[in-house]
Amino acid sequence: MKKALISLLVLSCLLLTAPVNESSYADSQKNIPVSQDTKLTQEQAKELLVKYNNKVDYIYQGNASDFEALKAKNLNGYVFLPDADGDIGYFVNENTSEIYYFHPSGYLELVNQQQNNK
C-alpha cells in the first residue's frame, strides 16, 4: 500500500511539473457582454417607497432631470414627496433601486445609512 501511495505521489508531482503543451484561452471575439435593463419605472419606484413605509401616500414630483442637484450628480430616478408635513422628499434611483432622502437644495442621503446610524 505504501509503495502504491508513493508511486502515485511521484507520478502526480511529475504531471504537475511537466509543461502543459496545450493551453486554452478565452477568445476575446466571442465574449458577448451581458447586460440587463432593469431600470425602475415611476410606478415601480412608488411601489418600492410603499414597501419602505406604507403609512403615507407618495406624490410624484418629477424625475432627476427636473432637479438641478440631481442633474449635477448625473443621477437618474424619480422624486416623491410623502403626503405628510415636512419638506424632505425621497429620490429613488432607477438604476440601483436605492432610496434617498432628498431636498432640492442638494441634500441627498441614502436611507439605509440613516437607519444604520441609529
Query: Tell me: the pLDDT tens digits for 33-55?
Result: 555 567 999 999 999 999 999 99
Query: Tell me: the pLDDT tens digits for 7-17?
Result: 666 666 555 56
* Alpha carbon separation from 21 to 5, 48, 77 (Å, rounded): 27, 55, 53
Q: What's the residue count for the chain?
A: 118
Per the structure block, which three cell numbers stand in for 11?
507520478
Task: Report the 10 Å Cβ neighbour count for 86.
Answer: 8
For the entire predicted model, the pTM comes to 0.65
pLDDT of residue 5: 60
> By C-alpha distance, which of 36, 93, 28 is closest to 64?
93
Q: Could you give the 3-state DSSP secondary structure of residue 88?
A: coil
Task: Report the 10 Å Cβ neighbour count for 36.
Answer: 5
pLDDT of residue 44: 96
Query: Tell me: the pLDDT tens digits for 65-98?
Result: 999 999 999 999 999 999 999 999 999 999 999 9
Query: Tell me: the pLDDT tens digits for 14-37?
Result: 555 655 555 555 555 555 555 556
92 vs 98: CA distance, rounded Å? 6
